Amino acid sequence: ERLQGYLDEYHYRYNRRNNMGAIFDLTIRKMVCHKPIRLNNNDLKTAT
What are the mean pLDDT values of the chain's consecutive 10-residue runs (48 residues total)?
A: 91 85 88 84 60
The amino acid at residue 15 is N
How far apart (Å, rounded) are the C-alpha atoms in residues 14 and 20? Answer: 11
- The whole-model pTM stands at 0.41
**Is the Cβ–Cβ distance between 18 and 11 less than 8 Å?**
no
The pLDDT mean for the chain works out to 82
The pLDDT score that the predictor gives to residue 5 is: 93
User: How many CB atoms neighbour CB 2 within 10 A?
Assistant: 6
The amino acid at residue 24 is F
The pLDDT score that the predictor gives to residue 46 is: 58
**Is the Cβ–Cβ distance between 30 and 23 less than 8 Å?**
no
